[in-house]
Amino acid sequence: MTIQRIALVAVLFGFSIVLSSCEQSSPKAKKKKEADPSVAEAVDAPLPPAAPTGDKSDPLGGDPDLPATPGGKTAPSEPTKVDPGTKVPKLPKFTVDAPTAPKTGGEAGEPIEHVQKPLAIPKAGVEAPTPKPQIVTLTYIGGTGNQWIQEVGFMEDGRIFAKSGGGTFTVYYSADGTRKLEVEGDISKPCTGNRGPNLKTWGAGAYRASCPTSKVKLEIGSHSYGVTKAQPYLKCTSHDWKWWGWTLDDMGKGMEAGARGVNVHFLQDDRFLATAHADAANTTLAKDPRKLKDANPALVTALLSNPAGPGTLYMVGNGKNGMPVVGTFIKGKALAETVDPWERVYIGLPWSGNNITDTFKIGGVSGFCILNQNLTTCLFSSTLGADNIFSMALKDNILVLGGNIGQAFTPDPKVTPKNIAPAKLPVKNPAQSVPGGEEDGFLAIIKLW
C-alpha cells in the first residue's frame, strides 16, 4: 500500500470515530407523553375573570369597575353570622360600565339625543301626599349564572315590567304590583351588557337631552385630564352657559379627586336636576360650578354639604341662565333616581347618616331614600336587601326598583357584612320559589301612599 493510501485510510478511520463519539454524547430525544384529556379540557375552558386586586389608586378601594356602595352604619336588624373559617365561593368579577376615565385623546364621538317625557303636573290644590311606603313585591329573579334587572317601567296598559341585562328575560306584574303575570325569555340565561347606567360619560357616552316643554337643550358628561382622572361638564347649547369643565390648572391642589357628570332630569318652571359622582370629598363639585374660587351656593341649605368620601351630588339649576338653585350630596354613588310630580327625589341608595331610620330593616347594601323638593330633608329611607339598584320607575303611587342580589363578600369576623344571601331575602309575591344561585335579579314594587 502506498503512503498516500495509508494516510487516506487513517483520516477516514479517525472521522468515523469522531462521529460515533458525538452520537453517544448527545441527549436522546424524550418520548412525547400522551395528552391528559382532563388537562386539555381545563386548558380549552375559558379562564374565570380575575378577582379584584384592591387597586390603591382608586379612592373607592377595591376594583374600580365596582359601583360604589353607600357609607354609614346601616345594617340588617339580624346580621348574617359568618363563621371565620367558612369558605365563601367567589363570583365572577362584578362590573358596571367602568367609570375610570379614558386616556387623553379617547373622547371622540357625538352623544345620542335622549327623549324625556314631561314631568307630570300636580292637580291644582292637591298637596303632596305624605310618603308611607309599603312593600308590595320583593323578589329575586334568575337561574344559574349571573342575572340582574337592568330596566323597569310601566306598559301602556299599566302592567309593570322588569327587563334583565341584555334582554334575556322580562317579567311582568299586574298594575298594582301584587301578581306576577308571566315571564318571557329564559331566566337561566346569563345576562349581558352594562349593569346600571353608562358611567363612561365622555364623548359619545355623554347624556344629551331636550326639555319636552321649554325646549332647553342640556348635555352632561365628563372630560379626562391626565390618564385616569375626569372632571364633569354641563352645557346648555340653547342659552349658551356651562357648569364645571375645569382643567387641572384651574383646580390646583386640594381638589384633585375625580368627578363625573352622569344625568339630568327636567323639572317644572325651566329648572332641571343634575346628577354627578365624586370619587372623594376633595372635589370641585363642592364649589360654584361657574366660578371655582367660590363656594357652591346651592349647598348652603344642603342636607349634606360634604360626603366625606365618595358621593353623589344632586343639584337643581335654572335652565335658562344656569343659576344653581338648591343641592345636596348623598354618600355613595347612586346608580338610579327618579322624580315625582312634586319634585321629590327618589334615590336608589338608603340615606347614610344620623337620625335617619332604616324603616324596613331588611339589610343588604342598597335600598332607597326620598328627599324633599328643596333637598334639605330625608323623608324616608330603608334598606331592601339588594346589592345594587340599577333602575327605577314611578307612576302615580307605585315605585319600581330593579337591581341585583347575591354578590360574594369576603367574611371578616370583625366586620358585619352588609350583603345578604338571596335565600335570606324576605320575599313577597315572588317571581319564583327559590333563588337561582350566584347573582340574581332583584325586583321591588313599593306602594308609596
- Position 227 scores a pLDDT of 66
Q: Which three cell numbers stand for residue 307?
A: 360626603
**Cβ neighbours of residue 334 closer than 8 Å, sequence gap 6 or more:** 275, 312, 347, 348, 349, 389
Banded model confidence at residue 391, pLDDT cuts 50, 70, 90: very high
Longest Cα separation, the chain? 135
In angstroms, rounded to a whole number, what is the distance separating the alpha carbons of residues 436 and 419? Answer: 17
Q: What are phi and psi of 27, to 5 degrees?
A: -65, 145
Select, from the ranges 50-64, 224-238, 377-391, the one with the highest average predicted confidence (pLDDT): 377-391
Banded model confidence at residue 107, pLDDT cuts 50, 70, 90: low
Q: What are phi and psi of 374, to 5 degrees?
A: -90, 5
Banded model confidence at residue 73, pLDDT cuts 50, 70, 90: very low
Give the rounded percent of residues in the chain with a pLDDT score beyond 90: 63
- Position 82 scores a pLDDT of 39
pLDDT tens, position by position, 31-46: 444 444 433 333 333 3
Q: Which three cell numbers stand for residue 261?
A: 357628570
- Position 411 scores a pLDDT of 61
- Position 410 scores a pLDDT of 60
Residue with the larger pLDDT of the pair 23 and 130: 130
Residue with the larger pLDDT of the pair 61 and 345: 345
Q: How many distinct helices (H) and strands (E) make up the chain?
A: 3, 21
pLDDT tens, position by position, 404-431: 999 877 666 676 778 999 999 999 999 9
Q: Would you say residue 359 has pLDDT above 50?
A: yes
Number of residues assigned to the chain: 449
Q: Would you say residue 24 has pLDDT above 60?
A: no
- Position 226 scores a pLDDT of 67
Residue with the larger pLDDT of the pair 226 and 35: 226
Q: What are phi and psi of 165, to 5 degrees?
A: -60, 125
- For residue 79, the SS3 value is coil
The sign one gets for the Cα dihedral 385, 97, 285, 300 is negative
Cell 500500500 maps to which residue? 1
Q: Would you say residue 224 has pLDDT above 90?
A: no
Q: What is the pLDDT of the chain when averaged over all its residues?
A: 81
Overall average pLDDT of the 41-57 stretch: 35
Q: Report yes or no: 286 and 309 within 8 Å, Cβ to Cβ.
A: no
Stretch among 30-39, 99-108, 221-230, 290-299 having the lowest mean pLDDT? 30-39
Overall average pLDDT of the 246-274 stretch: 90
Q: Report yes or no: 165 and 151 within 8 Å, Cβ to Cβ.
A: no
Q: Would you say residue 64 has pLDDT above 90?
A: no
In angstroms, rounded to a whole number, what is the distance separating the alpha carbons of residues 304 and 327? Answer: 9
- For residue 9, the SS3 value is helix
In angstroms, rounded to a whole number, what is the distance separating the alpha carbons of residues 216 and 229? Answer: 30
The radius of gyration of the chain from alpha carbons, rounded to an integer in Å, stands at 30
Buried b / exposed e over 78-98, threshold 16 CB at 10 Å, is: eebebeeeeeeeebeebebbe
Other CB atoms within 10 Å distance of the CB of residue 185: 14
Per-domain boundaries in the chain: 123-193+335-449, 198-334
- Position 65 scores a pLDDT of 37
Stretch among 94-98, 191-195, 221-225, 232-236 having the lowest mean pLDDT? 94-98
Q: Report yes or no: 353 and 330 within 8 Å, Cβ to Cβ.
A: no
Cell 324625556 maps to which residue? 116
Query: Apex CA 129: angle with CA 125 and CA 132, to 5°?
Result: 175
Residue with the larger pLDDT of the pair 324 and 246: 324
- Position 67 scores a pLDDT of 37
Say if strands 217-225 and 229-236 run parallel, antiparallel, or are unpaired: antiparallel
- Position 357 scores a pLDDT of 94
- Position 56 scores a pLDDT of 33
- Position 174 scores a pLDDT of 98
pLDDT tens, position by position, 152-189: 999 999 999 999 999 999 999 999 999 999 999 999 99
Alpha carbon separation from 217 to 116, 207, 241 (Å, rounded): 11, 11, 11
Query: Apex CA 78: angle with CA 77 and CA 81, to 5°?
Result: 140
The sign one gets for the Cα dihedral 407, 408, 410, 414 is positive
Overall average pLDDT of the 194-202 stretch: 93
Banded model confidence at residue 328, pLDDT cuts 50, 70, 90: very high
**Cβ neighbours of residue 52 closer than 8 Å, sequence gap 6 or more:** 62, 63, 66, 93
